[in-house]
Structure 1
Amino acid sequence: MSSNLKDAILRYIDTHDGDGEDGIYRTVIDGLFLMRTSHQDMPKPMVYRPALCLVVQGAKQVMFGDELFAFGEMQALVVSLALPAFGKVVGASTETPFLALALEFDIGVMRQVMEELDDPPRPAADAGPAVFVDALDGQLADCFLRLLRLLDTPKAVPVLSPAIMREICFWLLTGPNRDKICKLALPDSHTQRIARALHVLRDHFAEPIRIERLAETARMSPSSFHQHFKTLTAMTPLQYQKHLRLLEARRLMVADGSNVAEAAYEVGYESASQFSREYARMFGAPPKRSLAELKALPA
């Protein structure tokens, strides 16, 4: 199965715009992305959306807060909340490039499928992080192969892909990790309550945010909110906000050419020196040196 998935990914990438270069490829299937890289890289910061990321060849590590998740060939990283993290490809070469696919979850579809199950799953009693790694084979692997093969016939995508998406949700909601996946579909689970607070944080990350406001959004007491937030995200609300601020500042400096002071004030820092200190702690170097090193990396 893995060889068929590799062939399907490479076939799409090799014919996409006729280049076949390393990069992330958005497909005509909504929420489906393909990735290829022929070199190991430095940890890259980004916000992971609720999705399943399957490694088809190579290996990767992702750090959420203080927790490290490693996954290799035919293993999937499943994320059920929008979380800032550092991702690093650790298995890749020119001869054997890293290949992966990512499928963002459609919560509405997952909820519909769950409502139709005769015996819907129940969330695990013990709270755990909103991230886990699992082996992917059998029916699920076949679903992803059929989804990739649809890319060869774009006209078939709007007709056939919805059924495959529902099938993927079915196997996830009835599989060995159904007690974790179902938290995505339950409208009033702790995961969904924290997700509402995360929306507020993402929309207002440059503003001072009171924990009481976030707890009220999640309909929890401040102490319960803080506990569930830390359990699900592996960081505190303030750490989460800081990650969002620094990621956006980095984007502003790299993509928009903002200087250090401009980026700092834009994301809510009152002091450029404080921003530089916290940036260095997160990225391992002060802003100017970090950007120079970033520009020196392979494209």
Structure 2
Amino acid sequence: MRALYHVTIPPSAMADCEAVMQDVQLLQQIAPGEVIHFYPTRTPGTRIPRLLWGVNQAPELWRAERAVDLHHVFNPDPFPFPALRFLKRPIVYTVVGGLDERHRDMACRLSKLARTIIVSSEADYERLQAWGIAQGRLVQPAIDASRFSHTPLPPDAPPTLLAGSAPWTVEQFTSKGVDALLDAAQRRPDLRLIFLWRGVLFDEMMQRVRARGLEGRVHVLNERVDVNAALAGASAGVVLATRPDVVKAYPHSLLESLAAGKPVLVSRVIPMAAWVEREGLGLVIEAVEAEAILRAVAELERGAARFAAEALQTAVRDRLAHFMQAHREVYASVARAHR
């Protein structure tokens, strides 16, 4: 079994730090194959319409797909890229983010192109069914939790949040809650922030940090880092979003936080929030604003005893085996149906 993997992020020196690329690296163990960047330029914020993405790659795609059994596309929303019509091998399409009613039309159009549409949450799977899309498949995301261990903070340690899911564009400083986190730190003098960065918009970020006078309490890790070591200095992981398709439905940085025995703070609109709330793995933040963040931090401090490290780690420990087996089944089913 071989696959051709398509991602819609720009190629960069730190691309392999992206959660989607980490998923691909896991799946290459069961279906080897190369990665093709559907994104049309090397820098974020392209003005090329998504309707044209991949069109100029058609000859390359035709050559590459001769050696594979299927295509696997990863994209934040269920956009039906017209270039997918050029492909002769069957398509598996993972919707990396979450769904809402705005995605109904594009998901229905995608269902005419993709043999299987993978989503990450029960709510999104039920939404596909309600839209009459029969080829939906629920596969819960996972990470290799064996790379993480718990390091407790001293009792007098200041509250420290580790934020992943760095912005690709200036607009995402708002939609991913970066500005709200910085505003929260500005209002609470003992709150510290750690940001995992990817080399994009670093100068813009540092301007925002300096403008708020937060140089001593905000650390932006703009390099490859040992995330387990970074989490050792954190009280909790945090990912915020104003829409469900802005970040991964189950952000890797939050799964990593749980694997390190640290609770998580997550926006209500992110599909992972339902699981976090149901299993008691952290706190759900209702609005992407400083006051909501500060209330959550205060509640986290008051109820720290509720979040036992072992229970948090157990929640993610066995997910990887299920993730891999589910993809084996999807790939086998899709390839078999195409014969």
Q: What's the TM-score bracket when you normalise by the shorter of the two chains?
A: under 0.3
Q: Which structure has more strand as a fraction of its residues?
A: 1
